[in-house]
Structure 1
């Protein structure tokens, strides 16, 4: 009885482990920290509290993740100001989030520039390809958006969130 159970559960456990590892390898980002800090502050994971964004104790990774949180909350200028405090602003993630905030501010061409820098640093980063594709949709360049969609498909398939979101943006642009 135990050996039959092991025969059936072992493949399921392996599949779950591999899919989680694959999601991380494909550049899926964790949701940014949940606390909503006041303007000029950033969430510090280590101390588990909001601290002044000028604090040298807050690592770039926390600053970058929180900048994305700010941008997702519509606080684009604050996100950009926080990204300006990074010791190393030239990471794929930081450039992607800078592109996201500038695109959402209506500066689409500038955002595309940041996305392209991010892609150059990490061609397998599916999220930046999604956002780049969405920027191309805004510009009316559906051919370039489709190229990004195909790149995403080669990274994580056609069921990952990045693929689905960009496919939807392309589809919606064809309706208008």
Structure 2
């Protein structure tokens, strides 16, 4: 089923096998689910195609505004683009979905914090 294929594609992407993940996502009968679009966004972002990834994330958010993981990944993409204002917005959305104790909140907060440290170094 598509859901299992999407989950497997995500595992491939998490293992750094981004092209394989995208190829598997291309085989889905319905590639336009929130989960599939999120995973496609993740793989493309990890390949350095951040703007393309953001496009997939935004499509995913439209389909499921309460999907905390896609908001985390979208926020991380905004951190890459040095748009910490937009990343902070995503962090607040995540907080409204699952609070400040969920994994997605912590992961994005850490990415923002790490980026802030890098941006404000004075060496």
Q: Mark yes or no: TM-score above 0.5.
A: yes
Per the TM alignment, residue 126 of structure 1 is displaced from its structure 2 partner at its CA by 0.1
Unaligned runs of 5+ in 2: 119-123
> Greater RCO between the two (CA within 8 Å, min separation 6)?
2
SS at match of 1:87: coil
Query: How many aligned residue pairs are there?
Result: 118
Structure 1 segments of 4 or more deviating over 3 A? none
Unaligned runs of 5+ in 1: 1-58
Please, which of 161, 165, 173 is the counterpart of residue 107 of structure 2? 165
Q: What is residue 48 of structure 2 aligned with on the other side?
A: 106
Greater strand percent: which structure? 1
Alignment TM-score, normalising by the size of structure 1: 0.67
SS at match of 1:115: helix
Per the TM alignment, residue 65 of structure 1 is displaced from its structure 2 partner at its CA by 0.4
Residues 107-166 of structure 1 deviation map (CA, whole Å, 9 limit, x = unaligned): 000000000000000000000000000000000000000000000000000000000000
Alignment TM-score, normalising by the size of structure 2: 0.96
Q: What is residue 90 of structure 2 aligned with on the other side?
A: 148
Cα RMSD for the two superposed structures: 0.2
Find the aligned partners of 1:143 and 1:98 in 2 and give their Cα distance: 24
Greater helix percent: which structure? 2
The structure that has the greater radius of gyration is 1
Find the aligned partners of 1:146 and 1:165 in 2 and give their Cα distance: 12
